Amino acid sequence: MSFCIAVYASLFLFGAFFQSSTGELNIDNLYSFKLIMMLLLAEPHFAFTIPLLIGYKEQFAKRPIEFKVIPLLIIIIGFVLFFYSIALFSFIFLFANIFHVNRQSLGFFKLQARASKNLSDTYEPFLHGFTLLFFLSRLLETSLSERLIFAGCFLILLISMGCFLFREAREDKGLKICSYIQGFMIFLPVAVFEDLLLAFAIGIAIHYIQYMLISWLMCRNSFNLPFYNLLVIIALYAALTSSALGGFLTLENQSLIIFIPTMLQLLHFYFDGFLWRRDNEDVAIAMRKGLG
C-alpha cells in the first residue's frame, strides 16, 4: 500500500510539473509519459485477465451464460456501438471503468482495513459520489494552482477522516487509514489535470499496481502457472495493445485495430465481476490459496 501511494505521489507531482509548462516539447513528453504508463502498468493490468481466465477455465462449463453467452453479446453490441455511435460507446466504457475501479477499491478496503459492515457498505457510495464530483469540477474554470490547493485540502480532509474512523484501532492503524484514502485518490487527478488520459494514468496507477500484485499471486500460488509463460503472456499482450492504442499501427479512431484492444478492456471490466467473488466456492478456494 505504501509503495502504491509513493508511486501515485511521484506521478502526481510529475503530471503537475508538465501541466504547468507549455511548449511542443512538453506535449511530446506528455505523450511519451502516457505511452510508458500504458505499456508498463495499464495494459499489463488488462493482460492478467487472460491467465486468470485460464486458471478459472472450468467456469466456462459451469457457468456458460456468464462466461460465454454474455461476453459474446457484449462483443456484438460493442462492435455496433463502436462503429455507429462512438459517443455512446465511450460513455458506457467510462462508466464501466469507474465502476470497476471503485469496486476493487472497496474490495481492498475490506481486505486491508477489516472495517465494520456499516463502514464498508457506505464506502462504495461515497467513492462513486466523489468521483462524480471530480468530473463535475472539470466544468469550473480554475487555474492549476487552485486545483492543487483543492487536492491538498481534500487529502488532508481524507486523512483526518481516516484517523477519526480508525482512532480505536490498535494494530495496523496506518494501513487501515491508507486503505481508506486510496480509493478516493484514484479519481482525484480528474479534478486537477486538464488532460483526462493523463489524469487516469496518474490516478489509476494505484489500481493497476494492486491488481497486478494480487493477480500475480493468484496465477502463481493458486493456478501454478509457469513463471516464464506468465511473463510472455503479459509482455506480448502489453506490447501489441500499446502499439495499437498508442498510434503506431493506425491513426484512425474508429478501426478494427483500435476496437480489439478496447473491447478486451471492456471484457476485463465484465469478467472482473466474477473472478474475485468469494460467494463462488471455486473463487473462494483459489483466493484462500493464493492470497492467504
**Domain boundaries, given as residue ranges, for the chain:** 2-291
Per-residue pLDDT tens digits for 48-71: 999 999 999 999 999 999 999 999
The label of the residue with cell 487516469 reads: 200
To which H or E segment does residue 67 belong?
Answer: none
- Round to the nearest angstrom and report the end-to-end CA distance of the chain: 17
pLDDT at 226: 92
pLDDT at 20: 67
pLDDT at 67: 95
To which H or E segment does residue 22 belong?
Answer: none
Residue 2 backbone phi and psi in degrees, to 5: -60, -35
**Average pLDDT rounded to a whole number, residues 126-138:** 90
Share of the chain above pLDDT 70, in %: 94
Which residues lie closer than 8 Å to 183 by C-beta, 6 or more apart?
102, 105, 106, 108, 109, 123, 127
Longest dimension (CA), the chain: 56
Question: Per-residue pLDDT for 90 more than 70?
Answer: yes
Closest to 185 measured CA to CA, from 172, 174, 199, 196: 199
pLDDT at 2: 65
pLDDT at 25: 43
pLDDT-based confidence at 102, cuts 50/70/90? very high
Q: 179: exposed, middle or buried (C-beta count within 10 Å: 0-12, 13-18, 19+)?
A: buried
Per-residue pLDDT tens digits for 150-195: 888 998 998 898 888 888 777 778 888 888 888 899 999 998 888 8
Number of H helices, E strands in the chain: 16, 0
